[in-house]
Structure 1
Amino acid sequence: MNIVEEKDGDLKKVIKLNVEEKDYADKVEETLRNYRKQIKMPGFRPGHVPMSMVKKMYGDQVLADELNKIVVGKLYEYIESNNIPVLGNPLPKDDEIKPIDPKTQKEFEFVYELGLAPEFKVEVSEKDKFTKYIIEPDDELVEKQIEYLAKRYGQVSEKETSEDNDMIFGLFEELDENGNVKEGGIQHKSTIALDLIEDEKVKKELIGLKPGDSVTLDPKKVSKGAMDMAAMLNISKKEAENLSSKFKFTVEKIYHIKPHELNQEFFDKIYGKDHVKSVEEFKKHVKDDLRKALTIDSDKKLEIDIIDYYINKLNLPLPDDFLKRWLLKTSEGKITEQQIEEEYEDYAKSLRWQLIENQIAKENNIKIEPEEALAYTMNLMKMQVAQYGGNPDAISEEELKKSAAQILANQDEAKKIYERIFAEKIMNLIKEKAKIKEKEVSYEEFAKLVSGKSNKFSELFNNLKKSFKK
């Protein structure tokens, strides 16, 4: 077999594989002989059907199958032996696909195009500067969290007419430009929380409604940003950002939540029986919980900043046209060309960071040993047991090891765990080598810094964010 490699513009290559008769003849003959043994045909004993008839019946298909196996195998063998940094998988070059005619051809040419990863280096040093935000919960934040908890554990009752601070459950129906329900438009049942609506005119229109009543509204006015609106209408964030339609909202049920009193029963529900015995103690615990949660969110913000910094700093080129075609082909009709165009920017960003991570690992000899994965999994199990109120120390080391080994024996679970360890090692290396300064900010200042990225942060953070005015 003759293999020729050609450059095809930036970050693309064309591989031509010329298959000669000697490359496939023996394998095709062997496969047809096996077919012959299995064929049952009237007038012939099993295994004695004439070979000419077998070839006539199955020859073309067997040849096509064997050619495909040989070509794909040799192609990947060539890529691996020549260390070609491919992105995605090879694609047959559509404009050079030639029909196969087994009756007249003995040699066949197959042409594939490859998308290539760019060559680059990543220097991580003190020249790379980042800020870690320290958020100390103040009294206002503690009160907001207590309000949220009191409502969450409060008494819910159904009522006939909506008032301020009520929650209205109903059906959202997208309208067309004439104000009619749009055929094939967005329809979803969701809840509007009146106390979170900032536009007083809109809030006034929603007060005094009863089940069965309908109003026309702008979903942007009854939600807190694109992510909140996406969840409310069961659409993607990108769809929410581009949505300009008005909606018909039909009331189905109205709920009033009476906040729970700050009493012992309330304290016990949240922190366990008799663990907290006064409002002062309760506030202290809430403040501690806030501090822990916001520290996690601050760490997440730092990691997002690190990722964005290196992606923008290196600005890696990608074979975009090839990758879009590859994504479309491998989706097998599950996504459209338009969806790929809309989502490609996010995909390309994720791919660039993956390339950067791999290069950092290569330059710094970062590896994951099986013992590390086992210890990491055991620790995850301990954390999960504690999270659900159990005592992790009650589980023996032997039991933990056995359970962790079973988890890692599952290929999908093992992949997730190795990816988590890998990502943490990359981040830890960057945090050690780069320059990170700490800066104290208020919760509201921090919320503004992460505006538009709320889906990446904790549920606690997002619940609090909704309670603050813009």
Structure 2
Amino acid sequence: MATVTRENIGLLNDKITVKVSQEDYLPNFDKAVKQLSKTANIPGFRKGMVPVGMVKKMHGQAIFADEILKTVEKELTGYLQNEKLEIFAQPLPLDRESVKFDQFQPADYDFGFEVGLKPAFNITPLEEGKTTLTRYKIKATPEMVNEEVERLQMKGGKMSEPETITTEENVLNVEFEESDAKGNVTEGGIEKDNSLLLKYFSAPIQAQLMGKKVGDSIVFQLATSFDGDKLGWVLKDLGFEENDAEAAKKYFKLSITKVGLIEKRELNEEFFKEIYPADNITTEAAFREKLQSEIEKYWDSESRNHLHNELFEVLVHETPIELPKDFLKRWLQSGGEKPKTAEEADKEYPGFDHQLRWTLISDKLIRENKLDVSFDELKENAKQKVMGYFGGAAATDGADWLDSYLERLLQDEKFVDQTYREMVTQKLFDWAENKVNVKQEEITAEEFAKLPNKHHHHEH
């Protein structure tokens, strides 16, 4: 009769021993051999008439080992279920190589397994008064609105091709050719086409390019021709590191291959309707008001994400959870698709530990607070995504194609799983946010952009 015993070998780390006797596996072994003798195709024998002895000779050893391992797996699984053991991953077999099977000498066998036990823990950061976080408020300034108006006017504008360069808004198609200071092209040097706005160049180069036309060229040194981060962009585009001081000293011949100018869209009703088809915007003032609202909505979303990221870090780092670290490292070595060395497991462990803690915490919060997502909620979320993606085309609920499109989308298991994970994670953070103290602070967009952003919280 099979027996299963368990002993503690470390922190949240137990050894389970499964002992099977001949009576546990021999009946199944004999049954499997007889079954194969009825179906095997072996030259010289009719199908269904292969002698049991021949089957044992050809396949017996493999069947013998398989039936023993099946018996062990069944006993182990039953034990884990009956004892209601919450373990990490799968049990790790111990000393499997030392077990020798011989169908002609059946014996009793012991199989050892190592398991890592999930810990009991309290999520202390959510206890009353323990955690205070900041929600930042960013107001849309007139400068932000002006910048967005201009961006939309340019995006919807028409490109013309003037004869000469007359404004910093001119778009220049150019060819870079590496050269000396006099414009003699370097043999085998760098050559690259690019498209740049005139205003991206430094003021002296802008002045030098004014009045030039297609076919004209100038010679310049990179370091003196682009200011600030624009020099880094150009260096990277030419194949250098963005902070390569030596490369910045190089000279290039710049030839103009095309001059363009985007004519900005007029701020009129037609333009407003293109941008916001579902809103009845007829004046520039109403258009700017709508943009201000959209900009602030964007920053509110960014602020909420920042708050939730901070909450994620607090939960992961300040919830006291003991883990069977040594077991988990051994599991990392052998539990995946590809075996890892001890060094590889050590290197991978910190990230794995971080994610594992979050999985334990999020599972506990979702389970204990019943933070589930219904199918109707998921369907409505999918509908909003589709309407957001297609804009005006899906703005009306009665769009004929919308229901059938949604039905197809909701049959995609990958989409449904991804959407569910996003929604249940969002529910978790919305719930947890109400369990901590949140103070408000008004800052500028520039100040907000400089805030440390340690981590983007994981989906459940």
What TM-score results when the alignment is normalised by the length of structure 1?
Answer: 0.69
Letter in 2 for 1:217: F
Correspondences of 1:182-331 after superposition (within 5 Å): 201=223, 204=226, 217-219=240-242, 258=261, 261-263=264-266, 264=268, 267=272, 269-272=274-277, 276-277=281-282, 279-331=284-336
Structure 1 CA distance, aligned partners of 2:98 and 2:276? 71
Once the 2 structures are TM-superposed, how far is the Cα of residue 196 of structure 1 from its aligned partner?
8.8
Contact 2:21 2:107 in 1 (8 A): yes
Structure 1 CA distance, aligned partners of 2:261 and 2:431? 49
290-299 or 62-71: bigger deviation: 62-71
1:67 alignment counterpart = 68
Contact 1:383 1:392 in 2 (8 A): no
- Per-residue CA deviations over 1:203-238 (Å, capped at 9, x if unaligned) read 649999xx9x9956324679xxxxxxxxxxxxxxxx
Alignment partner of 1:134 out of 113, 132, 137: 137
Number of aligned pairs? 398
Structure 2 CA distance, aligned partners of 1:88 and 1:19? 24
SS at match of 2:450: helix
Structure 1 residues 274 and 131: CA distance shift in structure 2, 3 A: closer
2:79 alignment counterpart = 78
Contact 1:135 1:442 in 2 (8 A): yes
Once the 2 structures are TM-superposed, how far is the Cα of residue 278 of structure 1 from its aligned partner?
5.1
Correspondences of 1:105-116 after superposition (within 5 Å): 105-116=106-117
265-274 or 348-357: bigger deviation: 265-274
Once the 2 structures are TM-superposed, how far is the Cα of residue 413 of structure 1 from its aligned partner?
4.5
Contact 1:328 1:336 in 2 (8 A): yes
2:397 alignment counterpart = 393
Structure 2 CA distance, aligned partners of 1:394 and 1:96? 64
1:462 alignment counterpart = none
Correspondences of 1:318-467 after superposition (within 5 Å): 318-333=323-338, 342-364=347-369, 366=370, 368=372, 373-387=374-388, 388-389=390-391, 390-391=394-395, 393-394=397-398, 411-451=413-453
Structure 1 residues 284 and 9: CA distance shift in structure 2, 3 A: same
Once the 2 structures are TM-superposed, how far is the Cα of residue 54 of structure 1 from its aligned partner?
0.8
SS at match of 2:114: strand
Once the 2 structures are TM-superposed, how far is the Cα of residue 133 of structure 1 from its aligned partner?
1.5
Once the 2 structures are TM-superposed, how far is the Cα of residue 414 of structure 1 from its aligned partner?
4.5
- Per-residue CA deviations over 1:245-293 (Å, capped at 9, x if unaligned) read x9x9x99x99988555142476555334995555444332221211111
- Per-residue CA deviations over 1:357-393 (Å, capped at 9, x if unaligned) read 22223444x153xxx5221122113312421121353
SS at match of 1:101: coil
Structure 1 residues 125 and 315: CA distance shift in structure 2, 3 A: closer
1:461 alignment counterpart = none
Contact 1:202 1:221 in 2 (8 A): no
Structure 1 residues 322 and 456: CA distance shift in structure 2, 3 A: closer
Structure 2 unaligned regions, length at least 5? 162-168, 177-191, 203-221
Structure 2 CA distance, aligned partners of 1:301 and 1:207? 29
Structure 1 CA distance, aligned partners of 2:225 and 2:21? 76
Contact 2:140 2:295 in 1 (8 A): yes
Structure 1 CA distance, aligned partners of 2:172 and 2:119? 55
Letter in 2 for 1:100: K
Structure 2 CA distance, aligned partners of 1:255 and 1:16? 78
Structure 1 residues 111 and 204: CA distance shift in structure 2, 3 A: same
Letter in 2 for 1:53: M
Contact 1:382 1:392 in 2 (8 A): no
Letter in 1 for 2:365: I
Once the 2 structures are TM-superposed, how far is the Cα of residue 41 of structure 1 from its aligned partner?
3.0
Contact 1:16 1:110 in 2 (8 A): yes
Contact 2:200 2:230 in 1 (8 A): no
Once the 2 structures are TM-superposed, how far is the Cα of residue 352 of structure 1 from its aligned partner?
0.9
SS at match of 2:10: coil
Letter in 1 for 2:98: K
Once the 2 structures are TM-superposed, how far is the Cα of residue 308 of structure 1 from its aligned partner?
0.8
Contact 1:156 1:255 in 2 (8 A): no
Structure 1 CA distance, aligned partners of 2:342 and 2:154? 45
Structure 1 residues 391 and 271: CA distance shift in structure 2, 3 A: closer
Contact 1:157 1:255 in 2 (8 A): no
* Backbone CA RMSD of aligned residues: 4.7
2:98 alignment counterpart = 98
- Per-residue CA deviations over 1:26-66 (Å, capped at 9, x if unaligned) read 11111111110012334433222221111111111112222
Once the 2 structures are TM-superposed, how far is the Cα of residue 346 of structure 1 from its aligned partner?
3.1
Contact 1:165 1:256 in 2 (8 A): yes
Contact 1:156 1:256 in 2 (8 A): no
2:183 alignment counterpart = none
Contact 2:136 2:303 in 1 (8 A): yes
Structure 2 CA distance, aligned partners of 1:334 and 1:155? 58
For the pair shown, the structure with the greater C-alpha radius of gyration is 2
Contact 2:13 2:324 in 1 (8 A): yes
- Per-residue CA deviations over 1:179-211 (Å, capped at 9, x if unaligned) read xxxxxxxxxx9999898999x949649999xx9
1:177 alignment counterpart = none
Structure 2 CA distance, aligned partners of 1:452 and 1:190? 38
Once the 2 structures are TM-superposed, how far is the Cα of residue 336 of structure 1 from its aligned partner?
8.0
Contact 2:91 2:113 in 1 (8 A): yes
Structure 2 CA distance, aligned partners of 1:315 and 1:164? 60
Once the 2 structures are TM-superposed, how far is the Cα of residue 420 of structure 1 from its aligned partner?
3.6
SS at match of 1:88: coil
Letter in 1 for 2:19: N
Name the % identity.
25
Contact 1:169 1:191 in 2 (8 A): yes
Contact 1:385 1:392 in 2 (8 A): no
Once the 2 structures are TM-superposed, how far is the Cα of residue 356 of structure 1 from its aligned partner?
0.9
Structure 1 CA distance, aligned partners of 2:367 and 2:408? 30
